[in-house]
């Protein structure tokens, strides 16, 4: 069976993740397939809107399929990772900038690469099982796929909190933080998808009241600290063990870079600025970061005991985020 299907359904272009046993993890080929479908439908008069959904109850898309990148980099070939990230980011930008409505139905886990697909849609629907997160610091990465763009626009210091801790958001928190738009019970999704395909009109979406958003009432003032060390010190002073626990497990380099990325993205004019900055880190992470060790510990060996070794100094963070020169991401294919 294909990992992803694209087709036209009455007035809609349909994109469906179809590898539920792998939690619909996004591969390089799937990213290219999504991008190709969006390009084909952009000027197609028969397609009024795009619907993105996923098979299975457990996940819309739980992240990127990164095992292949790990194995290639372990053999000294870092190009597959760079190629994947570049093409994925172009696809993320296309979704955010798309001239037609894109309606994403996001159940279960929506993490990493899944946020890059669903989180940039114009109409983002969540349900009672939705769990949204950007947990990349736990595998030696940063919130990429435009994650820094979304985190930068979350209220108060929720962006720093979510990016550093990888905390999961239910439907209410996801809407409050700007990662989703509408709560609709998942039992209603099939009927709504049918109406969208029939009418081509996102105006048929009738959201329910937003569920409770615990994060909206949380004290996140510690995450205003200028550095990760200051944030940790403030959390220790307040005795916030729940927030400290993931910070003690995450890559110090990834956390320091995430803090820089989220705060820099607050000044960005478009998602392309944020994605270009993310690309600078991800292009280097298999050689100069903690990514290989994080993937080994969490996905390959699954010992959950990463031995972080990358330099987390301000100078190294700056080096990881420095221009790639001629290798900077270009956007000619995303226009």
Q: Which residues are catalytic?
A: 64, 113, 136, 144
Q: Is the separation of the CB atoms in 198 and 11 below 8 Å?
A: yes
Find residue 125's DSSP bridge partners: 105, 182
Q: For residue 314, which phi and psi values (nearest 5 degrees)?
A: -55, -35
Report the candidate in 34, 252, 268 with the shortest Cα–Cα distance to residue 148.
268
For residue 86 the two structure tokens come to 């570049």
Strands 49-54 and 102-106: parallel
Report the candidate in 26, 64, 72 with the shortest Cα–Cα distance to residue 142.
64
Q: How many CA atoms lie within 13 A of 17 on its CB side?
A: 34
Report the candidate in 236, 233, 290 with the shortest Cα–Cα distance to residue 258.
290
Q: Is the separation of the CB atoms in 23 and 59 below 8 Å?
A: yes
Instruction: Kindly write down the DSSP assignment for every residue of 54-119, as one continuous string.
Output: ESSSSEEE-SB--HHHHHHHHTT--HHHHHHHHHHHHHHHHHHH-SS-EEEEE-BEEETHHHHHHT
Q: Is the separation of the CB atoms in 41 and 99 below 8 Å?
A: no
Lookup result for tokens 């969006």: 38
């Amino acid at each position: 069976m294909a990992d992803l299907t694209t087709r036209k359904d009455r007035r809609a272009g349909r994109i469906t993740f179809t590898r539920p046993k792998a939690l619909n993890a996004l591969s390089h080929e799937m990213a290219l397939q999504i991008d190709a479908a969006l390009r084909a439908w952009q000027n197609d008069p028969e397609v009024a809107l795009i619907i993105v959904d996923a098979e299975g109850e457990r996940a819309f898309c739980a992240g990127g399929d990164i095992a292949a990148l790990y194995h290639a980099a372990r053999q000294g070939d870092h190009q597959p990772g760079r190629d994947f990230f570049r093409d994925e980011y172009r696809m993320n930008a296309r979704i955010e900038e798309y001239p037609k409505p894109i309606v994403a139905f996001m159940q279960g886990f929506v993490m990493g690469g899944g946020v890059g697909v669903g989180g940039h849609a114009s109409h983002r629907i969540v349900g009672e099982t939705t769990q949204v997160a950007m947990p990349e610091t736990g595998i030696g990465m940063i919130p990429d796929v435009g994650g820094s763009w979304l985190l930068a626009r979350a209220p108060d210091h929720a962006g720093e909190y979510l990016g550093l801790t990888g905390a999961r958001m239910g439907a209410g928190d996801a809407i409050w933080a700007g990662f989703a738009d509408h709560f609709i019970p998942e039992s209603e999704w099939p009927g709504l998808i049918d109406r969208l395909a029939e009418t081509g009109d996102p105006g048929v979406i009738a959201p329910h009241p937003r569920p409770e958003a615990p994060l909206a009432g949380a004290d996140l003032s510690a995450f205003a600290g200028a550095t990760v060390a200051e944030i940790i010190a403030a959390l220790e002073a307040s005795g916030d063990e729940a927030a400290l626990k993931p910070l003690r497990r995450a890559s110090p380099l990834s956390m320091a870079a995430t803090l820089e990325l989220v705060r820099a993205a607050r000044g960005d004019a478009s998602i392309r600025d944020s994605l270009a900055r993310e690309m600078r880190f991800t292009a280097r992470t298999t050689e100069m970061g903690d990514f290989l060790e994080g993937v080994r510990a969490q996905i390959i060996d699954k010992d959950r005991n990463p031995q972080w070794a990358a330099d987390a100094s301000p100078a190294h963070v700056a080096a990881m985020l420095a221009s790639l020169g001629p290798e900077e991401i270009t956007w000619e294919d995303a226009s």
